[in-house]
Amino acid sequence: MGAPALVHCTPERHAQAILAIFNEAILHSTALYDYKARTPENMAAWFDDKRAGGWPVIGVEDAGGTLMGFATYGPFRVRPAYKYTVEHSVYVHKDHRGKGLARVLMGELMAAARQQGLHALVGGIDATNAASIALHVQLGFVHVGTLPQVGFKFGRWLDLAFYQLLLETPANPVDG
């Protein structure tokens, strides 16, 4: 078997696999503060938003072409002055966690952000997700705040921790 391969995800090839990864996280974890599984229609709109914004969806496949995880980013907030800041996410299929795939995906995502001239990557992470927090810290992200009890799922209040990485880009930021 060959090494995992990085790919640019497309709706035609990867929507079902991403949907399965999202839905497992929604139904069995606090990685997503959603209650209901997403639908194929949700995925079509999600990919449309990524395409319209020029946002990457980077995946990692095994030698057989099965998607093992993906990472992406999108707008942090909608006001124009936030144009150099994005909120990212990274998800690995439950059967492939602990293999270093999230680190590889994050490295590619950080490179894409630099290439797009972005300045800040922000991750909103459930405060009990020790593995994700440790990964972000190892990659140079800094804890910039926690919003206590902003989510409620599985019968308990959830705290949302924010981690940020400042990039050296863009070379010449502009207003407007």
- DSSP H stretches of helix in 78-128: 101-115
Domain spans of the chain, in order of start: 5-166
Q: Which residues pair with 33 in a beta bridge?
A: none
**Per-residue pLDDT tens digits for 38-68:** 999 999 999 999 999 999 999 999 999 999 9
Confidence band, pLDDT 50/70/90 cuts, at residue 4: confident
Q: Under CATH, which number does the domain 5-166 receive?
A: 3.40.630.30
Judge residue 70's burial from the number of C-beta atoms within 10 Å of its C-beta, 0-12 exposed, 13-18 middle, 19 or more buried. Answer: buried
Q: What's the predicted TM-score (pTM) here? A: 0.94
**Hunting for tokens 């799922």 — which residue is that?**
153
How far is 97 from 104, CA to CA, in rounded Å? 12
Per-residue confidence (pLDDT) for residue 25, from 0 to 100: 96
- The dihedral through the CA atoms of 24, 26, 29, 35 has a sign that is negative
Q: Which of 104, 112, 142 shows the shortest CA–CA distance to 125?
A: 142
- The dihedral through the CA atoms of 107, 26, 7, 40 has a sign that is negative
Per-residue confidence (pLDDT) for residue 59, from 0 to 100: 98
Q: 146-155 — which CB contacts under 8 Å span 24+ positions?
A: 151/30, 151/33, 151/126, 153/30, 153/33, 153/35, 154/30
Q: Which of 38, 30, 36 shows the shortest CA–CA distance to 160?
A: 30
